[in-house]
Chain A
């Protein structure tokens, strides 16, 4: 987020990929895509392609990590080496470790952790292709994977970023906007409880711009929430034809 070289918004007020400032990217969500996981989800948001899987509640290893009064939620956010332009080393980077932590903390408030003492629930997120806003798309998918695993939850968690590019507050930043834009504000929300479970920001915003960005991001979250619920229902409603 430093140099302001390119124009990110044209004269018609449209963005590099032709979107309006408050428009989301194309989103496709599928639930139950992996047969070995207890729950799973796949999301495509713009060029982002992300898989999330949930395992548990199950016996926790190492055992000494287990807690007597609730389950332990663990989360790994990981990017495939081929998911970005320059190959990314498969070893977890500091960024991935931080994101694993904030994603876990964004999901934790939604789960009834106290229902499963002495156990563990694991979330594994693999970013297969990254296009900006992967943490948000990961949260949206991870929450669905948990729901698919049948884990009791207060609400789904859904995330979306807003930010500022060329003096305009925009929704759902893609890679270029994220990199050369002025600011990026990822927000995760439990829409029914109106509770913000993830909030980060980098860049520079006035207090007023910040307020607008948070509100726009929450609006985006609510739109994705509809898609999220639809995807969850579709898994159980869709009857697939089997070839003889």
Chain B
């Protein structure tokens, strides 16, 4: 996911961060401007668009009737997929999902799943046979860094906006009938991503910072301020105390964001 960045700029970004400043004027733990719109795609059961600075991610959810997993016969199924659409960046190419889009989808999935954001038990129609399957499709439309936080936010916004179709049982068959109820949501996990640049942590790295960073760390926080998912990325490392520092900052940032968005 890298493209070219000049050495001069690399140096400039790193030196500024050492002084506690950033090229775009933000403080080290500031997010870019966040905009969330919900219900923008009528055909989808739920949808949302998130703008994180110039990063733009759209998420649509679809709900179908399908089979449960063998080990969870009484629970609905959650499936998260991410597409790095070629129009979002000159570095994205058409074709089957690569490791970056798979990792992105799995990080978003982990946050939603492990925090038990959706009450999957309420999505069961017939134990072991029929359940609702929730498809969350992440569509990256413009890549300007920190796709993870933008995608996690957009996915949550879309899920909160999702309507579950009503159904009736007819001769043992579940049939969708007109009408909707909201998807049963219990929790609101917020992902906070850090980049390690020049041995300092910055929150919400934008594209050029991502190109300079040594390593990346994403920490998802649930409504009670608990950690519910973590992923380290990039080919660098973190000192143990940096990891703990990041967890503390993530909890603060998630709380801040929850207040701002009223979730």
Contact = CB atoms under 8 A, between A and B. Distances in A.
Interface stretch (A30-38, A97-105, A230-238): A97-105
Contacts of A204: 114-115, 222, 226-228
B229 A201 contact: yes
A151 to B, nearest CB: 15
A27 interface: no
Interface in B97-119: 99, 102-103, 105-106, 110, 113-116
B233 A105 contact: yes
A8 interface: no
Contacts of A214: 240, 243-244
Interface in A152-179: none
B4 interface: no
A89 interface: no
A205 B236 contact: no
A16 interface: no
B239 A194 contact: yes
B13 interface: no
Given A199-B217, A203-B114, A214-B244, A94 B106 contact: yes
B263 interface: no
A203 B106 CA distance: 14
Interface string B56-98: 0000000000000010100100000000000000000000000
Interface string B229-243: 111111111111001
Contacts of A104: 235
A194 B105 contact: no
A137 B113 CA distance: 25
Contact of A203 (B228, B232, B243): B228
B133 interface: no
Interface string A187-203: 00010011111111111
Interface string B216-259: 01000010011111111111111110011001100100000000
A206 B221 CA distance: 10
A196 B243 contact: yes
Interface in A60-115: 86, 94-95, 97-98, 100-102, 104-106, 108-109
B102 A98 contact: yes
A1 to B, nearest CB: 7
A23 interface: no
Interface string A217-237: 010000000000000000000
B240 A196 contact: yes
A211 B237 contact: no
A210 interface: yes
Given A98-B99, A101-B99, A201 B238 contact: no
A174 B157 CA distance: 36
A50 interface: no
Nearest to B104: A98
A239 interface: no
Contacts of A202: 110, 113-114, 228-229
Contacts of B237: 109, 190, 193, 195-197
Contacts of A94: 102, 105-106
B109 to A, nearest CB: 9
B102 A102 contact: no
Contacts of B116: 2
Q: List the 5 closest A-B pairs by CB distance, nearest first.
A: A201-B230, A108-B235, A195-B237, A199-B232, A101-B99
Given A200-B232, A205-B227, 19 more contacts: A86-B70, A94-B105, A94-B106, A98-B106, A100-B99, A101-B103, A105-B232, A108-B235, A109-B236, A185-B230, A195-B239, A197-B237, A201-B227, A201-B230, A202-B114, A202-B229, A204-B227, A207-B226, A207-B251
